[in-house]
Structure 1
Amino acid sequence: MTKKTPIARHGRLRSPHPLRAVATTALAAVAVLGISGATLGAYAAWDVTRSIQTVSLVSDQEAAAAQASGADGADIAAAAPAISAIDGGVNLLLVGSDSRTGQGDAYGDDEGAELNDVTMLMHIAQDHSSATVVSFPRDLVVDLPECPEGGGYTAPINESLGQGGLACTVLTVESLTGLSIPFAAEIQFNGVIEMSNAVGGVPVCVAEVIDDPFTGVYLEPGTHPLKGADALGFLRTRHGVGDGSDIGRISSQQVFLSSLVRTVKSDSTLTDFGKLYGLAKAAASNMTLSDRLASPDTMVSIALALKDMDLSKVTFVAYPNFAADWVPEGKVAPDTEAADILFAAILADQPVAVAAPGGVASVVDPASPGAPDAAAPVDPSAPAAPADPSAPVDPAAPVDPAAPAPGTVLADGSTLLPDSVKGQTAADYTCSVGNE
């Protein structure tokens, strides 16, 4: 990306919104409509959907076509194909707003423009065999498109929500990734509390003390079942994990999300009417959905697509980035070369593979299933363990000529991502690392 107009900056230093990719369970929750009795399911559908707030979401291409044909947003939404008919899989954008409006006094005053401090893209493969979730750092400097309230300049991606709402953030991510995004959802603080309560809590591994006076989070090493305000605080903490940056917080949040997916799939949540109904209600009461996503049929289709997916094929990654001299201190620039490999795989509807699980604020859990036993004798003929992705790279070290290059399609059909793309799968047991 070339340097463009000066970057607009915000003076506020606010604790951003937690990772709302609890959306996997939010959407899965409404599968209650498809697995319960007809009468109870009909009531659940009515009771859940009557609480949902919706917003029109139209892509650039659709807007141009609609203007030419005289169609309005409702006509476009009504003509949307079924999930199973969408070519190339499903793209859904999950946005976490930092707005305090209607959230009580627990999160501070609501002042200034609304920011999307969490922006995540979920891609579900057309054959429902894999899913990729990409987190965009709030400080990622991008080109904001023209939107109803502004735009058309270069700024951190979290300014897009204030320039035209959810639709503007969708346009921004579409422009950055080259993908079409027909579905989107926005959630606020209270939604995370209610949804973590509905699922019964999420076990989170902590490798080092997490102590963050800004969010009130203090966790000793070990595994902690987090729900309610504790889950919210963990997902919000930036100063308490990794290097204190938003990049570190993303990798720590992936620890939570991976455990959440495992929890939902292992404790019969997806076949428990009470839990599903609670999740659906919590989501509906605290989310704004694009009009296409608000359809019960659409939500059920997405939920059922995720229900039987292999954990090793659910991959969480952070958008690749780097510090550049043309962005303000504390902001990051897009690593477009690595991103091109990531989004080419998504566009081709292929699963992705990270070089090694972990990131700035997460490490592999030594007690996880399949982890090497420190007391066991070492087999000298065994292949070497993957390198620590957070360790510094020695430029003088020899390159293994047998190692596959980034972009290579591996034997399992997944595309190998560059080392700079950090993340993990839902099958990877990892622990959050405190910020010393």
Structure 2
Amino acid sequence: MISARRSSRGPLARHGRQRTSHPIRPVLTFLGAALAVVAVSTVSLAAYATWDVTRSVTTVSLLSDLPAEGSDGAAPAPPPSIDAIDGGVNMVLVGSDTRTNQGDAYGEDEGGALNDVTMLIHIAQDHSSATVVSFPRDLMVELPDCPDGGEYTAPINVALSLGGLPCVVLTVESLTGLSIPFAAMIEFNGVIEMSNALGGVPVCVAEEIDDPYTGVFLTPGTWDLKGADALGFLRTRHGVGDGSDIGRISSQQVFLSSMIRTIKSGSTLTDATKLYGLAKAAASNMTLSDRLASPDTMVSIALALKDMDLSKVSFVAYPNSYADWVPEGKVAPDEDSAAILFAALAADQPITLTQTGGLASTTDPNAPVSTSPPATDPQAPAAPTDPSVPVDPASPPAPPAPGELDASGAVVLPDDVKGQTAADYTCSIGNE
């Protein structure tokens, strides 16, 4: 039985040994700095807030932002409004494990940095849906020719060390076939400060989480996590699921979906002070691509997400499997399932999962229950059928196959694409 929320209890972190090679999992929600900036840009202190926030931003040019070889050297034209981007907008979010200028709490600064969190966000052109794809840090991929390395197969999380944020974006573009004009990167302290600015995120724990590597100890129940506790929960791998990075992704989706619900259901969107704090926390601890750093761009992205139906915000993990050709502990891309996922995003189509949850998450038994039947849209397109296949009127129609459309017009994903929507109440599962 899940116990009541434990917001009155003391710190949950039981600080054990810190292993410096243990990867970080600081996760920025798909709203990022954009959500905060949009609100402070629409209240009475807009002028000062926008100036004060944007002056703290560190920027970097993506490879697509640089003048083409043989050109006159002029910078490319600024991107159009996201409403005008054909096929929706794509953005990469990166969580870096760097210890540089992050204090002593995260282990020794060994130099270099890995992109141990890599997420792709697709926002539909009509702003009706959004999809967040998490790439396992141990996913073996063909790395592109980045500044500090040639083309070869390696875990995706080395891309940051080979060429910074631009190399991560180029790697994701190569893997997905999508064009990605926007990117952002966040570090340890940014996760702590942003969770503090939100006032905490309620997280359900179904089974005890005990991870001496990150110092996280959580008993079953619902915990309000912020600061170092939120960071520790997002970092823990040994404490959840099967102890793998794949399990950690599904546990992080528990946090992310709750965070989105917290932002949309609470006073965040109408509290100028809270929004300003969130914007400052993000801007002071993030690196943004040149085009994303524009206040106008951040505002337009936030406006696209602000009123989106929670059930239309999907979090999925890049499909993967263990294979003979990858080193022990690494995973191989499931290219067939991935092709269905990214074909849907390239066509700007919504997606639907065959089931909710993953290796380290399960449905919350105390989730709110809707008292009204689900609404149906009489205008929704019917799932396509094969006219050559006879239909038995006495039998119900077969469910759509992966890659086909369901009754709502969403692309059905294969069952090895795991995840949930922001409307799904889930709990993290400890590693027994």
Question: TM-score, structure 1 length as denominator?
Answer: 0.87
Does residue 57 of the first structure (1) align with residue 56 of the second (2)?
A: no
Counterparts of 1:333 and 1:131, CA distance in 2: 26
What's the counterpart of residue 263 of structure 2? 264
Q: Give the aligned CA root-mean-square deviation in angstroms.
A: 1.6
Displacement of 1:307 in angstroms is: 0.5
In 1, are the aligned partners of 2:144 and 2:150 still within 8 Å (CA)? yes
In 1, are the aligned partners of 2:98 and 2:111 still within 8 Å (CA)? no
What's the counterpart of residue 227 of structure 1? 226
Displacement of 1:23 in angstroms is: 4.3
Structural mapping, 1:76-91, within 5 Å = 76=76, 78-91=77-90
What's the counterpart of residue 369 of structure 1? 368
In 2, are the aligned partners of 1:191 and 1:286 still within 8 Å (CA)? yes
Counterparts of 2:81 and 2:63, CA distance in 1: 17
Counterparts of 1:142 and 1:290, CA distance in 2: 23
Counterparts of 1:277 and 1:166, CA distance in 2: 26
Displacement of 1:108 in angstroms is: 0.6
Counterparts of 1:151 and 1:260, CA distance in 2: 39
Secondary structure (helix, strand or coil) at the match of 1:139 reads coil
* Residue 406 (structure 1) aligned to one of 402, 406, 410: 402
What's the counterpart of residue 96 of structure 1? 95
Counterparts of 1:288 and 1:331, CA distance in 2: 28
Go from structure 1 to structure 2 and tell me whether the alpha carbon gap of 1:369 and 1:353 turns closer, same or farther (over 3 Å shift).
Answer: same
Displacement of 1:271 in angstroms is: 2.0
Deviations 1:73-117 (A, max 9, x none): xx12x4322222211111010001110000000001121531100
2:400 is aligned with what amino acid?
Answer: P
Counterparts of 1:261 and 1:25, CA distance in 2: 11
* Residue 32 (structure 1) aligned to one of 39, 43, 49: 39
Counterparts of 2:118 and 2:337, CA distance in 1: 19
Go from structure 1 to structure 2 and tell me whether the alpha carbon gap of 1:106 and 1:13 turns closer, same or farther (over 3 Å shift).
Answer: closer
What's the counterpart of residue 393 of structure 2? none
1:41 is aligned with what amino acid?
Answer: A
Displacement of 1:68 in angstroms is: 3.6
In 1, are the aligned partners of 2:127 and 2:305 still within 8 Å (CA)? yes
Structural mapping, 1:2-401, within 5 Å = 14-37=21-44, 40-59=45-64, 66-72=68-74, 75-76=75-76, 78-370=77-369
Secondary structure (helix, strand or coil) at the match of 2:329 reads coil
Counterparts of 1:228 and 1:243, CA distance in 2: 26
Deviations 1:217-254 (A, max 9, x none): 00000100000000000000000000000000000000
Secondary structure (helix, strand or coil) at the match of 1:93 reads strand
Deviations 1:274-296 (A, max 9, x none): 11101100000000000000000
Q: Which runs of 5+ in 2 are unaligned?
A: 1-18, 372-395
2:427 is aligned with what amino acid?
Answer: C
Counterparts of 2:405 and 2:282, CA distance in 1: 37
Displacement of 1:151 in angstroms is: 3.3
Displacement of 1:258 in angstroms is: 0.2
Aligned length: 390
Identical amino acids, percent of aligned pairs: 72
Deviations 1:20-40 (A, max 9, x none): 232424320111243212xx1
Counterparts of 1:154 and 1:305, CA distance in 2: 36
Secondary structure (helix, strand or coil) at the match of 2:288 reads strand
Does residue 424 of the first structure (1) align with residue 426 of the second (2)?
A: no
Counterparts of 2:47 and 2:153, CA distance in 1: 47
Go from structure 1 to structure 2 and tell me whether the alpha carbon gap of 1:228 and 1:147 turns closer, same or farther (over 3 Å shift).
Answer: same
In 2, are the aligned partners of 1:151 and 1:160 still within 8 Å (CA)? no
Displacement of 1:311 in angstroms is: 0.2
Displacement of 1:317 in angstroms is: 0.1
* 270-279 or 139-148, which deviates more: 270-279
Secondary structure (helix, strand or coil) at the match of 1:232 reads helix
Secondary structure (helix, strand or coil) at the match of 2:161 reads helix
Counterparts of 1:312 and 1:175, CA distance in 2: 29
Counterparts of 2:90 and 2:339, CA distance in 1: 17
Counterparts of 1:245 and 1:115, CA distance in 2: 17
Deviations 1:118-152 (A, max 9, x none): 00001100111100000000000000011111131
Secondary structure (helix, strand or coil) at the match of 2:63 reads coil
What's the counterpart of residue 377 of structure 1? none
Counterparts of 2:115 and 2:284, CA distance in 1: 19
1:44 is aligned with what amino acid?
Answer: A
* 41-50 or 13-22, which deviates more: 13-22
Counterparts of 1:196 and 1:53, CA distance in 2: 20
Counterparts of 2:347 and 2:30, CA distance in 1: 24
Displacement of 1:369 in angstroms is: 1.9
In 1, are the aligned partners of 2:96 and 2:117 still within 8 Å (CA)? yes
Deviations 1:240-273 (A, max 9, x none): 0000000000000000000000000001312211
In 2, are the aligned partners of 1:94 and 1:185 still within 8 Å (CA)? yes
1:429 is aligned with what amino acid?
Answer: Y
